[in-house]
Structure 1
Amino acid sequence: MKILIIEDNPDLIQNMVSYLQEENILCETVENLFDAQDKLLGYRYDCIVLDLMLPDGNGLDILEFIKTNKIDSNVLIISAKDSLDDRLKGLDEGADDYLPKPFHLSELLARLRAIYRRTKLGGSDLISFNEITMDTGNLQATIHSKTLDLTKKEFDLLVFFFTNKNRVIGKEAIAQHLWGDYTDDLANFDFVYQHVKNLRKKIAQAGGNDYIKTVYGIGYKFDPNVS
């Protein structure tokens, strides 16, 4: 899962990032509305963790920005403003959940995972497709009940392909999803090819079908019609 944290408290940002990265969640951060809008126009995130009280305005403005620009990201509001009106307004304008401050980091993680399960995985930690089963709770994948020896990046790559099946995904988009937006500074994305190659090899060795197809000059596509 890749998230954008929009929060202006540096201590809270550091605590959230440290905790969530240990749980295999890739975090990008901004501290104001202006930078948040710039990030959202340039990159894709599974979920946005949004504070309402920001130095240059109300975080609720981001919800309208997301709607106007048709950005496909879920939103979890975090804010010390815990009045009923704020909660209702945020949810009414498109937020998926609301977590009042202060909160335990374990609850933040649970809320993020619940949103991801509900919106991306059909409400379950388990993803099953033909001979493949992926357990996003313990980061395990199996082929014909045989456990694949995947790295965290390879597992994330497999889930990313599946949740974007039938869509052509560029190498840059894959790099940004798995390694973060710092990949903008890289001269090429040859390392993506190696990770895809390793994943396909491990699936084939376990007797699985090759659903991941190369789209030459662009990237890759998970083709569920392969048999």
Structure 2
Amino acid sequence: MKILIVEDDADLREITTRSLEKERYVVSQAPDYKTALRKIEDYDYDCILLDIMLPDGSGLDLLEELHALGKRTNVIILSAKDSLEDKVKGLDLGADDYLPKPYHLAELHARLKSLFRRNQREGEKKVSYGNVEVIPDHFKVAVGGKELDLNRKEYDILLYFMLRPGRLVNKTTLAESVWGDHIDQVDNFDFIYAQIKNLRKHLKEAGATVELKAVYGIGYKLVEE
């Protein structure tokens, strides 16, 4: 899962980033309104952790920009401003949750897991397609009930497609979502080809009824055989 932290406090931003990365999230940062606006225009995120009070603007204005861009991104407001008015306005503008600062990292992790679980099919703790199951809370994969051992990026790629079965995903979008912002600036995508080749092999050898199909010149999609 890819998260953008919009926070002007450098120490809090770094502490939160390190904590999230330990939980295997892909994390990007924005210290101010201008940087955050540029990032939401250029990239997509599964969730934005958004401070309301920024040195050069309001986080609430960023929520309005997200809406104007037509992006369906989960947003958790993280702010020392805990007035009812700000909370209500943020939720009205499309925020999904509100966590006042100072916050405990454990609670932030719990809120994120709950948010992502709600976005999955019927809030289930596991994601299923064909005979493949992924349990995001424990980073586990099973094929036909038997656990499948994958490396981190193979797992991240599989989960990304399991949440979007049958949807065509271009290589750049996949790279940004699994490896982070600015990966679109690399010279080639050989690192993606290698990971997908290995993932395909693992799925086939395990007897999976789903496969990653390549669409020449565009990207990949996960389909059921």
Q: Which residue of 1 aligns with 2:109?
A: 109
Partners of 2:120 and 2:38 in 1: how far apart? 24
Partners of 1:77 and 1:155 in 2: how far apart? 29
Q: In the alignment, residue 153 of structure 2 is paired with which amino acid?
A: K
Q: Which residue of 2 aligns with 1:145?
A: 145
159-168 or 7-16: which moved more? 159-168
In the superposition, the TM-score normalised over structure 1's length comes to: 0.95
Q: Does 1:159 align with 2:159?
A: yes
Q: In the alignment, residue 179 of structure 1 is paired with which amino acid?
A: W
Q: Which residue of 1 aligns with 2:30?
A: 30
Q: In the alignment, residue 143 of structure 1 is paired with which amino acid?
A: V
- Checking the alignment, whether the CA contact within 8 Å between 1:211 and 1:222 is kept in structure 2 is yes
Q: Measure how far apart 1:114 and its partner are.
A: 1.1
- Checking the alignment, whether the CA contact within 8 Å between 2:3 and 2:45 is kept in structure 1 is yes
Partners of 1:77 and 1:134 in 2: how far apart? 28
Q: Which residue of 2 aligns with 1:189?
A: 189
94-103 or 149-158: which moved more? 149-158
Q: Measure how far apart 1:85 and its partner are.
A: 1.1
Matches within 5 A, 1:173-188: 173-188=173-188
SS at match of 1:103: coil
166-175 or 56-65: which moved more? 166-175
Partners of 1:125 and 1:152 in 2: how far apart? 19
Q: Measure how far apart 1:121 and its partner are.
A: 4.5
Q: Which residue of 1 aligns with 2:9?
A: 9
Partners of 1:189 and 1:90 in 2: how far apart? 38
Partners of 1:13 and 1:121 in 2: how far apart? 31
- Checking the alignment, whether the CA contact within 8 Å between 1:5 and 1:28 is kept in structure 2 is yes
Partners of 1:123 and 1:12 in 2: how far apart? 30
Q: In the alignment, residue 144 of structure 1 is paired with which amino acid?
A: G
Q: Which residue of 1 aligns with 2:205?
A: 205
- Checking the alignment, whether the CA contact within 8 Å between 2:131 and 2:143 is kept in structure 1 is yes
- Checking the alignment, whether the CA contact within 8 Å between 2:130 and 2:210 is kept in structure 1 is no
Q: Measure how far apart 1:54 and its partner are.
A: 0.2
Partners of 1:150 and 1:93 in 2: how far apart? 39
Q: Which residue of 1 aligns with 2:61?
A: 61
SS at match of 2:109: helix
Q: In the alignment, residue 37 of structure 2 is paired with which amino acid?
A: Q
Partners of 1:14 and 1:121 in 2: how far apart? 32
In the superposition, the TM-score normalised over structure 2's length comes to: 0.96
Partners of 2:125 and 2:210 in 1: how far apart? 23
Q: Measure how far apart 1:130 and its partner are.
A: 2.4
75-84 or 33-42: which moved more? 33-42
Partners of 1:208 and 1:82 in 2: how far apart? 49
- Checking the alignment, whether the CA contact within 8 Å between 1:200 and 1:210 is kept in structure 2 is no
SS at match of 1:212: strand
Q: Measure how far apart 1:65 and its partner are.
A: 0.5
Q: Which residue of 1 aligns with 2:79?
A: 79
- Checking the alignment, whether the CA contact within 8 Å between 2:52 and 2:59 is kept in structure 1 is yes
117-126 or 143-152: which moved more? 117-126
- Checking the alignment, whether the CA contact within 8 Å between 2:130 and 2:208 is kept in structure 1 is no
SS at match of 1:211: strand
Q: In the alignment, residue 175 of structure 2 is paired with which amino acid?
A: A
Gaps of 5+ in 2: none
